[in-house]
Amino acid sequence: MHESAIDRTAARFRPILGLSLVPLSVAYAVLVMNAPLDRVQGIIQKILYVHPAMAFAAYLGFLITAVAGALYLWRGEEQYDRLALAAAQVGVLFCTLNIITGPIWGKGTWGRWWSWDPRLTVTMLLWFVYIATLLVRSFTEDPARGARFAAVYGILGAPVMVLNYFVIELFRGRAIHPENLEQGSLGDGMGWPFLVGAVVAILGSLYLIACRIEVESLRAIWLQRRREAPDGGECT
């Protein structure tokens, strides 16, 4: 098995991403600790610097999943399937964190853990769609067929992701969630921790995707050696 362009790119940028995350994470923590408290919500409002950032990272993972899935269906190259799988796994991770932090914030502001708010509902739907892209691989005996099914699910999830972002505008006045952030909607001292938090989450998602690509590449090499090994032999 020859190393693909995606494998080489992941191996090249993973250390760079890892090193850049260290100072950014420290700066992020300092900015959040020194950010002003909201006069209405109090300390619980600081989840603002975590909750949306998880959504941005999840969006990135799901977008890469859809694009890589489309490229796999078009070109049939395994490197795109590995990228789609890695991005879906990381996207599901950050979407799960978004779903976990949301009710914590909701309990502190709305007084309840969950409400069938339009964005909450669509976020849960988005999570199920990409969970399906992972599960379909486990329930399909033919790996190539499972990869094609997963690619289709990943592509179908892209419109749900767009709906998730704009659903507040569609249900204007009938949603508990506040409107999407716009220029000037954050208070004084809140912009930088919000921005740096989003950057850390996005770079962190790219770092994890690169790690997962390397793992899947090594796994593909091991499977190929196992197939090429004589009957009853062991590959090393």
Query: Residues 56, 61, 63, CA angle at the centre, nearest 5°?
Result: 90
Does 63 have pLDDT greater than 60? yes
> Helix, strand, coil shares of the chain as percentages rounded to 5?
75, 0, 20
φ, ψ for residue 42 (rounded to 5)? 75, -145
Does 185 have pLDDT greater than 70? no
User: Would you say 147 and 133 are in contact if contact means Cβ atoms under 8 Å apart?
Assistant: no
Does 234 have pLDDT greater than 60? no
Mean pLDDT value of segment 93-111: 87
The pLDDT assigned to 177 comes to 60
Query: Residues 179, 181, 183, CA angle at the centre, nearest 5°?
Result: 130
The pLDDT assigned to 173 comes to 58
| Residue 182 confidence class, pLDDT cut points 50, 70, 90 | low
Domains of the chain in start order, with CATH, are 9-35+42-226 (1.20.120)
The pLDDT assigned to 70 comes to 96
pLDDT digits (tens, 9 = 90+) for 125-172: 999 999 999 999 888 888 889 999 999 999 999 999 888 878 767 666
| Residue 188 confidence class, pLDDT cut points 50, 70, 90 | confident
d(CA 216, CA 220): 6
| Residue 179 confidence class, pLDDT cut points 50, 70, 90 | low
29-38, 43-52, 82-91, 157-166: which is most confident: 82-91
Instruction: Give the number of other CB atoms < 10 A from CB of residue 216.
Output: 20
d(CA 16, CA 24): 13
The pLDDT assigned to 175 comes to 55
